[in-house]
Structure 1
């Protein structure tokens, strides 16, 4: 019988407001921040940059947190290309299905909302103070996709065994060519920079397994996912195909009124019902599926009797939705808690059907 350690501890208590942060505490309130530990992935030293150069890039990227949100950080074309090449080498060296260990903090979609990414780090601890797993969709829609992806890649290079990035459906040339990232690259640099990012994105891992109990991906389940080795064996580098396992891992959605597999309103991939979640967890001896890909009002939302959780980390998404953003912390005992970023501004309209 599969363990219920995660499900038993995903019970929300009251929210405390601290400096604009809601912290929903499950247990151990008031304990000190856990010490970061290696997450179980090693590399052979390739994909390196000059540490001094890398640290300077990170310093320039995060120093704007003390300024008005929206201030641009203009890295050089050479610096950005170095970030793309060095991180790409690390992604390829590490598995397509990352096998990680708690403690770790998990973040959902960022979508170029750079000031909110910095807020997440302020609350969760800047690397390497905490280990991080991001679930994809770093670019498009927001105004600062370049700063967002450059900081994430820089941290990946600087802390390759503590900081992890999964691929989202927007880390795909055919998508970010349309939804803003291509235009931002072309406006601030040139098309060659966009192509450098495309080469990097095509090497990103697509799923992570935390302590053999929590399976993480950007989108969701697939009818083709009969064995986790199928994820491990997906080829890289690769674009995202229109159908199949890789497409579904990045595009599928849970559907409350669905039994089995259903049509997806996005026109891509499938929806899956609570029954598919339960069957999958039981078959693979897992406790929880953690995914992103959809705007949810409180920054996180449960599905299938708390067997799946959606995390979305871009508050006030696109400046139009009155949603919060969330970050999920998993401690050494696989107890899960949520830190919630309130939207910066109140809007009058919120639409739960938004697609990301």
Structure 2
């Protein structure tokens, strides 16, 4: 009997038992469809195709919005894409569906951890242990949360009670190179082109730079960054033969970084570069990336530029691998010096007063000026709100206006916000990074908002192209160069990352 017949029938003509059976069959069909979609989504998740997994989990939820598992699985897919705000919301929804669903608390704890909210994460692990007191994994993670909270409190106390920087406590001149070191040497502490070329070859061979020289390079660039404004004004010769290159996220993909230099030639005084944040984390050659970039900064201080990304921060580095990698390859002191140096990185660059380049995006206020950016007190860990936060974390969206960020920090902003900002500050357009794009770049907001992402086949899984942008100083018209990934040694991405993101669907 068709549903149309049921709709036309009177109550007397349709026995109650038959009506209930029809409703049950309908519900069973919707749940079956949700399960089918979930299984397909799970396979995409295993293949690390997180965007497609999220789409399919969302479709499954449209058939069954009471499944804690579906919300939990979508939560961890959002975690993989750093959509921490969405991950948090989905994990909370999973818990609302089933207050005893342990994975929901795990997902929410991981999202809180990624946002640096360790005390909230602690509460979730405590709740898991109330549900299951014998859960050894939860107890281990609870203890890790406690350790991070103690560390955070200690670092806060140190920052208040001690004016000495890490840099002031390190004296590379008093250090001796390791007896078996056969890599490049700095002569009189000076970085030369020959040194950088030898450094690149050393890293390609899987060898380390001696800590003496690593410290020297980091300290040199720290002094350079310390002297910069939060917004650096860059002058490109206003001729059609000049060239300036902007690169997006590298994320520890060292051999893809070298491919950029192969395609576009090494940095020089006539071949200047700007790397737009997220040099480290995820990829397992982050140390090699950052030391190579720092070496070029020391070699060409007025022709090689670096902006801070959201991953040049303690919370990200603890979760996504840079801290673990530095401590594995060098020491905790080296990591602390990197952290201090990342606090000195400029937040944005303005090219020929026409193009603004920052890692994340625009602001919750329509009245932010370039001078406001120049005056930002950036010598700290990124705050949870304000201009610095939004420069590092915000994302464009297609619809007009502003919306809460999918990442749980920063905002999303539309074409009207971009248009108004450019008009208010007399800019041609904006370049940002921060998001994977299939072609390596994306032009949005009527040409006013360009995203460039320079890590191809991100995390050995996404299958995207990488890209960088060339322009000349006369016309400032972006030219997009795209490329595929190149082979690298068999070290998996996230090899040094926190176990918090080892949780599977």
**If the length of structure 2 is used for normalisation, what is the TM-score?**
0.56
Instruction: Please give the alpha-carbon distance, in whole angstroms, between the structure 1 residues aligned to 2:305 and 2:334.
Output: 22
Cα offset for 1:101?
2.2
Cα offset for 1:208?
0.5
Look up the SS of the partner of 1:234 in the other structure.
Answer: coil
CA contact (8 A) 1:252 1:270 kept: yes
Cα offset for 1:133?
0.6
Please name the residue that 2:448 is paired with: 307
Question: Where does 1:52-67 land on structure 2 (aligned, <5 Å)?
Answer: 52=190, 54-55=192-193, 57-63=195-201
1:88 aligns with 2:207: no
Gaps of 5+ in 2: 1-185, 237-242, 488-505
Instruction: Please give the alpha-carbon distance, in whole angstroms, between the structure 2 residues aligned to 1:322 and 1:305.
Output: 26
Look up the SS of the partner of 2:255 in the other structure.
Answer: helix
Gaps of 5+ in 1: 1-47, 346-356
Please name the residue that 2:386 is paired with: 244
Say which of 332, 343, 352 aligns to 2:485: 343
Question: Where does 1:38-187 land on structure 2 (aligned, <5 Å)?
Answer: 50=188, 52=190, 54-55=192-193, 57-63=195-201, 71-102=205-236, 103-128=243-268, 129-187=270-328
CA contact (8 A) 1:72 1:144 kept: no
Instruction: Please give the alpha-carbon distance, in whole angstroms, between the structure 2 residues aligned to 1:54 and 1:164.
Output: 17
Cα offset for 1:72?
2.2
Sort the Cα spacing of 1:145 and 1:303 in 2 relative to 1 into closer, same or farther, 3 A.
same
**If the length of structure 1 is used for normalisation, what is the TM-score?**
0.79
Sort the Cα spacing of 1:233 and 1:314 in 2 relative to 1 into closer, same or farther, 3 A.
same
Moved over 4 A (4+): 51-57
Cα offset for 1:342?
1.8
Higher-RCO chain (CA-CA 8 Å, sequence separation at least 6): 1
Instruction: Please give the alpha-carbon distance, in whole angstroms, between the structure 1 residues aligned to 2:404 and 2:267.
Output: 40
Instruction: Please give the alpha-carbon distance, in whole angstroms, between the structure 1 residues aligned to 2:326 and 2:202.
Output: 20
Instruction: Please give the alpha-carbon distance, in whole angstroms, between the structure 2 residues aligned to 1:122 and 1:280.
Output: 36
Instruction: Please give the alpha-carbon distance, in whole angstroms, between the structure 2 residues aligned to 1:311 and 1:182.
Output: 26
Look up the SS of the partner of 1:177 in the other structure.
Answer: helix
Which structure dedicates a bigger proportion of its chain to strand? 1
CA contact (8 A) 1:61 1:147 kept: no
Cα offset for 1:343?
3.3
Cα offset for 1:71?
4.0
Instruction: Please give the alpha-carbon distance, in whole angstroms, between the structure 2 residues aligned to 1:162 and 1:337.
Output: 19
Instruction: Please give the alpha-carbon distance, in whole angstroms, between the structure 1 residues aligned to 2:337 and 2:198.
Output: 21
Instruction: Please give the alpha-carbon distance, in whole angstroms, between the structure 2 residues aligned to 1:50 and 1:302.
Output: 46
Sort the Cα spacing of 1:161 and 1:49 in 2 relative to 1 into closer, same or farther, 3 A.
farther
Cα offset for 1:287?
0.7
Instruction: Please give the alpha-carbon distance, in whole angstroms, between the structure 2 residues aligned to 1:328 and 1:275.
Output: 24
**Which sits farther off after the overlay, 70-79 or 145-154?**
70-79
Cα offset for 1:302?
0.7
Please name the residue that 1:213 is paired with: 354
- Over the aligned positions, Cα root-mean-square deviation in angstroms equals 1.8
Matched residues, number: 293
Please name the residue that 1:198 is paired with: 339
